[in-house]
Amino acid sequence: MIEVKNEAESLIHNTEKQIKENEAKLPQDLKDRVRADINALNEALASNNLENAKNAIEKFRNSAMDIGRTIYQNSSQQTSNEQTQQPNEEKKSEEQK
């Protein structure tokens, strides 16, 4: 159970850090869902029931992966938008010549 608690605490810490660093990039419903999973995980750990704790970790891990997925999608869209804008800007400068 100690290993499970350590894993859970590490996941919680890293995920909370990720949320804080990317606050503006994440939709509120995702942040709320992750925070609810953090609370459920803490409750499962407090119950000292190994099976409940493992299930809560798995559910929380899936929510945490959604954060990474959302951040990646947002950065991909931003990169795509920047690449689309660059050729347009080059065409404008060529037309002005």
- What whole-number percentage of the chain has pLDDT above 70? 88
Residue 65 belongs to a domain: yes
Residue 32 lies in a domain: yes
Percent of the chain with pLDDT over 90: 69
Using one digit for the tens of pLDDT, what is the confidence trace for 31-61? 999 999 999 999 999 999 999 999 999 999 9
Model pTM score? 0.75
Residue 91 lies in a domain: no
Q: Please report whether residue 38 resides in a domain.
A: yes
* Cβ pair 8, 53 in contact under 8 A: yes
Q: Would you say residue 62 lies in a domain?
A: yes
Q: Taking 60 as the threshold, does the pLDDT of residue 11 lie above it?
A: yes
Number of domains in the chain: 1
Please tell me the distance from the alpha carbon of residue 84 to that of residue 47, in angstroms, as a whole number: 53
CA distance 43 to 4: 13
CB atoms within 10 A of CB 34: 21
Answer yes or no: is 40 within a domain.
Answer: yes
Domain of residue 58: give its range.
Answer: 1-14+26-72
Report the pLDDT value the prediction gives residue 87, as an integer from 0 to 100: 59
The pLDDT assigned to 81 comes to: 76
The yes-or-no verdict on residue 15 having pLDDT over 70 is yes
Domain assignment present for residue 90? The answer is no
DSSP state for residue 90 in the 8-state scheme: H
In a domain, 97, yes or no: no
